[in-house]
Chains A and B, each alone.
Chain A
Amino acid sequence: SQQGEEDPQALSIQEGENATMNCSYKTSINNLQWYRQNSGRGLVHLILIRSNEREKHSGRLRVTLDTSKKSSSLLITASRAADTASYFCATDFKGNRDDKIIFGKGTRLHILP
């Protein structure tokens, strides 16, 4: 079974608005990552946040992590048409050896012109 679950499954917003996606997971983690995937192509790494971090920024992206709630959120500010993609969270859970990461089912984001 998948470790992480993204919410919502699909999201449509107007260009320029902010998009927020959430991820919940089941077991304690070493780190959590967010990836983007365009139209069934390869995944692009966005941000990695470690279990002892609470927030990270990268350009228009902001990721938060709440280990007490076993959840993370990805915020994309000032969305653009090019942000239309599927977004996945992936967890590297504690007790897991050697770089195996588990993906959620993803949030499909559609930016409306």
Chain B
Amino acid sequence: DAGVTQSPTHLIKTRGQQVTLRCSPKSGHDTVSWYQQALGQGPQFIFQYYEEEERQRGNFPDRFSGHQFPNYSSELNVNALLLGDSALYLCASSSTGTSGRQYFGPGTRLTVT
């Protein structure tokens, strides 16, 4: 039973570019959440997807957008990259009604130069 997978593992982009990160949830999970973790900080909630719709959103600008597909996998898109977007991006999946427990993927390390 595969856990949460994310791709790519590492990514280097230039300021102003756009990036797409991908996540496949754990088998049986229908909800995907995305987090940004800056170095030395805790993960910050970006948004959550359920039934292909954004269900909740944290305090992130519209440059951050996402999508969920019918198979529950998800993408995180960031436009007009800034140096401050450099971080570890974590995807977590859960099953609706399981009251909070989330399973995390290994993350994508994004470096913006």
A interface list, Cβ under 8 A from B: 2, 30-31, 33, 35, 40-45, 48, 50, 88, 92, 97-106
Contact = CB atoms under 8 A, between A and B. Distances in A.
A2 B42 contact: yes
Q: Which 3 A-B pairs have the closest CB atoms?
A: A103-B42, A92-B100, A42-B106
Interface of B: 4, 31, 33, 35, 37, 39-45, 48, 50, 55-56, 58, 88, 90, 92, 94, 96, 98-107, 109
A92 B99 contact: yes
27 contacts: A2-B44, A33-B100, A33-B101, A40-B88, A41-B107, A42-B107, A43-B90, A45-B103, A48-B101, A50-B99, A92-B99, A97-B56, A98-B31, A98-B48, A98-B50, A98-B96, A99-B100, A99-B102, A100-B33, A100-B48, A100-B58, A101-B100, A103-B42, A103-B43, A103-B45, A105-B40, A105-B41
A101 B102 contact: yes
Contacts, number: 74
A53 B68 CA distance: 35
A106 B42 contact: yes
Contacts of A98: 31, 48, 50, 55-56, 96
